[in-house]
């Protein structure tokens, strides 16, 4: 209940709302092109690791602000400075409320700060405002890659909708034409793929 009450209070703070409005309405942040989803997730993991190692209890507002901006710059590859600043404002306002409401000595303070950062940055989709990938099929830029069943390469939504033949071609690469039907079924089962109506693709 305490966390819920705190969250409600933060959400109605004027400074928080002003920064949130700037973040949500600012559609022309510099985008960050990640070479792959693996590259992005490595940066996200490093970000979360550093957040969980940081002692919010012992740091003042300036130290926390500098730390958050530095970590946001890392995950955004130093490509979207304005996004880092506005996002850090939201995070720091929230952390300030946590400290004011619960004090410096509560044992869960660090965990609460970590949780609020994770919720703001990832659960609220603020990261999606800057993320970009290159589609492996059409090579256009997209902020989301999709992994359709039977496809080796991830792709944008348009390619998933408009190039179903790629799915068949890529499925064939999973299947040796010399395999028995039982062998095909075993391979598909190991990939958690549906066996129904796929035997014809062997030919």
Indicate the SS3 state at residue 131: strand
Is 86 a member of any domain? yes
Handedness of CA 169, 187, 144, 141 (dihedral sign): negative
The domain boundary, picked from 103, 133, 163, lies at 133
Neighbours of 203 (CB within 10 A): 6
Comparing 185 with 12, the larger pLDDT belongs to: 185
Give strand pairing partners of 141: 134
Shared domain for 158 and 128, answered yes or no, is no
Per residue in 111-154, pLDDT (tens digit) is: 888 988 998 888 767 888 899 999 988 999 998 899 877 677 88
Shared domain for 84 and 118, answered yes or no, is yes
Domain that holds residue 56: 2-133
Ranges of H-type helices in the chain:
2-11, 14-25, 37-53, 61-75, 81-102, 109-118, 157-162, 164-174, 181-190
C-beta contacts of 168-172 below 8 A and 24+ residues apart: 168/201, 171/198, 171/201, 172/201, 172/202
Select from 148, 70, 147, 83 the least CA-distant residue to 120: 83
- Give the pairing type, strands 141-142 and 32-33: unpaired
DSSP annotation of 146 = B
Per residue in 157-177, pLDDT (tens digit) is: 888 887 655 666 656 665 655
Shared domain for 17 and 66, answered yes or no, is yes
Is 187 a member of any domain? yes
Shared domain for 167 and 191, answered yes or no, is yes
Shared domain for 166 and 67, answered yes or no, is no
Domain count, the chain: 2
pLDDT at 187 over 70: no
Shared domain for 153 and 121, answered yes or no, is no
Neighbours of 21 (CB within 10 A): 11
pLDDT at 181 over 50: yes
Shared domain for 165 and 92, answered yes or no, is no
Shared domain for 105 and 197, answered yes or no, is no
Is 118 a member of any domain? yes
pLDDT at 1 over 70: no
Shared domain for 121 and 35, answered yes or no, is yes
According to the model, what pLDDT value does residue 25 have?
Answer: 59
Comparing 21 with 116, the larger pLDDT belongs to: 116
Comparing 128 with 194, the larger pLDDT belongs to: 128
Is 162 a member of any domain? yes
Is 140 a member of any domain? no
Give strand pairing partners of 131: 32
According to the model, what pLDDT value does residue 4 have?
Answer: 41
The domain boundary, picked from 133, 162, 190, lies at 133
Range with the largest mean pLDDT of 39-43, 86-90, 179-183: 39-43
Taking the C-alpha atoms of residue 143 and residue 135, their distance in angstroms, rounded to an integer, is 9
The domain boundary, picked from 79, 100, 133, lies at 133
pLDDT at 199 over 60: no
Shared domain for 174 and 78, answered yes or no, is no
Half-sphere exposure of residue 180, counting CA atoms within 13 Å on the CB side?
3
Per residue in 63-117, pLDDT (tens digit) is: 999 999 999 999 999 999 999 998 898 888 888 877 777 665 566 888 888 988 9
pTM as predicted: 0.70
């Amino acid at each position: 209940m305490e966390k819920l009450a705190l969250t409600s209070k933060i959400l109605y703070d004027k400074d928080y709302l002003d920064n949130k409005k700037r973040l949500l309405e600012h559609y022309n942040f510099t985008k960050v092109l990640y070479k792959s989803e693996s590259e992005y997730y490595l940066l996200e993991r490093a970000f979360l690791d550093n957040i969980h190692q940081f002692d919010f209890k012992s740091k003042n507002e300036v130290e926390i602000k500098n730390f958050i901006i530095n970590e946001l710059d890392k995950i955004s590859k130093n490509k979207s400075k304005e996004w880092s600043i506005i996002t850090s404002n939201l995070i720091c306002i929230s952390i300030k409320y946590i400290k004011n409401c619960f004090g410096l000595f509560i044992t869960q303070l660090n965990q609460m700060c970590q949780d609020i950062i994770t919720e703001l940055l990832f659960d609220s989709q603020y990261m999606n405002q800057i993320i970009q990938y290159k589609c492996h099929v059409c090579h256009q830029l997209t902020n989301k890659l999709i992994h359709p069943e039977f496809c080796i390469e991830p792709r944008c939504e348009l390619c998933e909708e408009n190039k179903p033949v790629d799915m068949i071609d890529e499925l064939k690469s999973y299947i040796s034409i010399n395999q028995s039907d039982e062998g095909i079924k075993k391979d598909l089962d190991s990939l958690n793929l549906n066996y129904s109506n796929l035997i014809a693709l062997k030919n």
